[in-house]
């Protein structure tokens, strides 16, 4: 960080931060990037040093200069006091929930959460006497009415996984904080570049680094950032589990971080372009993209976010499953697969109905999620156009 004459560091803007954070070239013979430190054992010069643990690194499970470089960079990016780096986004969700939970606790989790989050709550935390109650993502400040004496955390995810509901994060955070409840957000879609989680009132923020931070579909990584109030508790819980990420993956993520602003900007622009184009298609009933004025959460998105990333969903008009499948199978540039945030476009048919409990998911037709990559948008539209032609062929095919 640059210093002014008083020695205080100047606050850099996000794009600059992404190029500067987590680097100290002259600690590494001038090489621009931090090296990959692999190691389990860390040696101490003397017994006194060992007994006093008087050095920044003491054992591999607690981190290396490479993982620490990414953690420190992410803290700057997220506006956090500390960050813990773990091997996947789901591990980050588990770490955040374990940091803010105890036996007998009650958790409030948005009904629109990433479904493995629900599985962790219902399949693991429940075994330790933790009760999870799912709430309507659009609840806003009425969440106050669900907070009990035993409530220890409220988890948000905005936009919701697949279904894309936007939550009133500041209102929910304020209601939770008034009762001393930990405010957690899964901020993977927006990243701190488009939604500063701690500035908006969250105590712990989860990021699947697998997605936009890595950006290349070649690593799994998770980050939990904490404000000053929760930083110590987070670090303590992290150390108890020793679930650190590998230095090689941290190094790849640091590499991804340097181009993250550019990729996100371009993928956000391209996705919005494709979303608008799809909204005008006769085969499409609705496009679930918060930057579209037709989205029910558009006003909240506009108030709280500084942009949109590359993921959105669509609902087709009532279409036989077979025709919707033919559309997806016909696409050449959209891979069919889980995850997202890489440089390549993806499509995923989905159905939230089986796991929703607080709200009903009953769209008029088949639902598809898109992740837009870095291809030329004109090619993507041609590919979708060909897919729709296949869909129409299916509908007008010979009756059986
Ligand atoms: C992908 C994803 C995760 C999990 O990340 P992994 O690294 O795949 O475990 C968590 N939350 C959200 C919102 C995601 O989309």
**Is 151's C-beta closer than 6 angstroms to any atom of ligand 1?**
no
State the distance from the centre of ligand 1 to the C-alpha of 337, rounded, in angstroms. 13
| pLDDT for 1 | 43
Q: Tell me: pLDDT of 6 over 60.
A: no
The pTM of the full predicted model, rounded to 2 decimals, is 0.96
Residue 172: which H helix or E strand, with range? helix 169-178
Can you state the angle between helices 89-99 and 231-241, rounded to 10 degrees?
Answer: 120
Give residue for tokens 């539209």.
Answer: 381
**Cis before 159 (ω within 30):** yes
Give residue for tokens 């931060």.
Answer: 17
pLDDT tens profile 16-66? 999 999 999 999 999 999 999 999 999 999 999 999 988 999 999 999 999
**Is 250's C-beta closer than 6 angstroms to any atom of ligand 1?**
no
The number of helices, as runs of H, and strands, as runs of E, in the chain is 13, 12
**Is 371's C-beta closer than 6 angstroms to any atom of ligand 1?**
no
Q: Are strands 151-157 and 284-288 parallel, antiparallel or unpaired?
A: unpaired
State the distance from the centre of ligand 1 to the C-alpha of 89, rounded, in angstroms. 5
Closest Cα partner for 61 from 336, 245, 332?
A: 245
Domains, the chain: 12-258 (3.40.640.10), 261-396 (3.90.1150.10)
Q: Tell me: pLDDT of 2 over 70.
A: no
| pLDDT for 76 | 97
State the distance from the centre of ligand 1 to the C-alpha of 1, rounded, in angstroms. 31
Please name the residue whose Cα sits nearest to atom 5 of ligand 1: 89
| pLDDT for 53 | 86
| pLDDT for 11 | 81
Average pLDDT score over the chain:
96
Residue 397 pLDDT class (50, 70, 90 cuts): confident
Q: How far apart are CA 69 and CA 24, in angstroms?
A: 9
**Is 185's C-beta closer than 6 angstroms to any atom of ligand 1?**
no
Residue 145 CB partners (closer than 8 Å, separation 6+): none
**Is 110's C-beta closer than 6 angstroms to any atom of ligand 1?**
no
For 133, the token pair is 């109650």
* CA 189 to ligand 1: nearest atom: 13
| pLDDT for 36 | 98
Q: How far apart are CA 355 and CA 264, in angstroms?
A: 30
Contact 315, 378 (CB under 8 A): no
Residue length of the chain: 400
Query: For a substitution probing ligand 1, which of 211, 246, 249, 313 has the most ligand atoms within 8 Å of its CB?
Result: 211
Contact 197, 78 (CB under 8 A): yes
Please name the residue whose Cα sits nearest to atom 10 of ligand 1: 89
* CA 93 to ligand 1: nearest atom: 10
| pLDDT for 4 | 46
pLDDT tens profile 130-155? 999 999 999 999 999 999 999 999 99
Q: How far apart are CA 61 and CA 246, in angstroms?
A: 10
Contact 264, 191 (CB under 8 A): yes
State the distance from the centre of ligand 1 to the C-alpha of 59, rounded, in angstroms. 28
**DSSP string covering 340-375:** --SSS-EEEEE--TTT-SSS----SS-EEEEE--SS
Query: For a substitution probing ligand 1, which of 89, 161, 185, 311 has the most ligand atoms within 8 Å of its CB?
Result: 89
Residue 108: which H helix or E strand, with range? strand 106-110
Q: How far apart are CA 295 and CA 393, in angstroms?
A: 30
CA angle 132, 239, 48 (to 5 degrees): 160
Contact 88, 222 (CB under 8 A): yes
Q: Tell me: pLDDT of 167 over 90.
A: yes
Q: Distances from the Cα of 255 to the Cαs of 14, 42, 219, in angstroms?
A: 16, 25, 12
Q: For 384-393, what is the mean pLDDT?
A: 97
**Is 88's C-beta closer than 6 angstroms to any atom of ligand 1?**
yes
Please name the residue whose Cα sits nearest to atom 1 of ligand 1: 339
**Is 162's C-beta closer than 6 angstroms to any atom of ligand 1?**
no
Closest Cα partner for 252 from 87, 377, 9, 116?
A: 87
| pLDDT for 399 | 52
pLDDT tens profile 83-102? 999 999 999 999 999 999 99
State the distance from the centre of ligand 1 to the C-alpha of 281, rounded, in angstroms. 30
Query: For a substitution probing ligand 1, which of 114, 137, 246, 346 has the most ligand atoms within 8 Å of its CB?
Result: 114
Q: How far apart are CA 203 and CA 198, in angstroms?
A: 6
Q: For 347-371, what is the mean pLDDT?
A: 97
Count CB-CB contacts under 10 A for residue 31: 11
DSSP three-state, residue 3? strand
State the distance from the centre of ligand 1 to the C-alpha of 122, rounded, in angstroms. 18
pLDDT tens profile 201-244? 999 999 999 999 999 999 999 999 999 999 999 999 999 999 99
Q: How far apart are CA 179 and CA 149, in angstroms?
A: 9
**DSSP string covering 173-191:** HHHHHHTT-EEEEE-TTTH
pLDDT tens profile 294-311? 999 999 999 999 999 999
């Amino acid at each position: 960080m640059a210093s002014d004459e008083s020695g205080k560091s100047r606050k850099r803007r996000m794009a600059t931060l992404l190029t500067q954070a987590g680097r100290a070239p002259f600690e590494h013979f001038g090489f621009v990037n931090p090296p990959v430190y692999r190691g389990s054992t860390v040696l101490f010069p003397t017994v006194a040093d060992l007994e006093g643990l008087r050095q920044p690194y003491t054992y591999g499970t607690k981190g290396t200069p490479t993982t620490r470089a990414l953690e420190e960079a992410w803290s700057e990016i997220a506006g956090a006091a500390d960050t813990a780096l773990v091997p996947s986004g789901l591990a980050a969700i588990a770490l955040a929930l374990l940091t803010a939970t105890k036996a007998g606790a009650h958790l409030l989790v948005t009904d629109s959460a990433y479904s493995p989050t629900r599985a962790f709550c219902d399949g693991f935390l429940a075994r330790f006497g933790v009760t999870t109650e799912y709430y309507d993502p659009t609840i806003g400040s009425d969440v106050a009415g669900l907070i009990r004496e035993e409530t220890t955390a409220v988890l948000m995810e905005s936009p919701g996984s697949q279904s894309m509901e936007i939550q009133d994060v500041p209102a929910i955070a304020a209601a939770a904080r008034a009762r001393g409840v930990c405010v957690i957000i899964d901020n993977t879609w927006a990243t701190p570049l488009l939604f500063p989680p701690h500035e908006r009132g969250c105590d712990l923020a989860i990021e699947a680094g697998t997605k936009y931070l890595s950006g290349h579909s070649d690593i799994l990584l998770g980050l939990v950032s904490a404000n000053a109030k929760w930083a110590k508790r987070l670090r303590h819980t992290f150390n108890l589990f020793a679930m650190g990420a590998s230095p090689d993956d941290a190094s790849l993520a640091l590499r991804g971080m340097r181009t993250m602003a550019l990729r996100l900007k371009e993928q956000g622009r391209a996705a919005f372009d494709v979303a608008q184009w799809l909204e005008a298609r006769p085969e499409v009933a609705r496009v679930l993209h918060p930057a579209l004025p037709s989205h029910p959460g558009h006003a909240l998105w506009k108030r709280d976010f500084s942009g949109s990333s590359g993921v959105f969903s669509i609902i087709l008009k009532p279409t036989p499953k077979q025709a919707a499948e033919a559309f997806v199978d016909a696409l050449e540039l959209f891979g069919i697969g889980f995850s997202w945030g890489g440089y390549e476009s993806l499509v995923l048919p989905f159905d939230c109905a089986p796991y929703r409990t607080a709200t009903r998911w009953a769209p008029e037709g088949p639902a598809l999620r898109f992740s837009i990559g870095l291809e030329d948008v004109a090619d993507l539209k041609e590919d979708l156009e060909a897919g729709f032609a296949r869909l129409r062929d299916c509908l007008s095919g010979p009756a059986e």
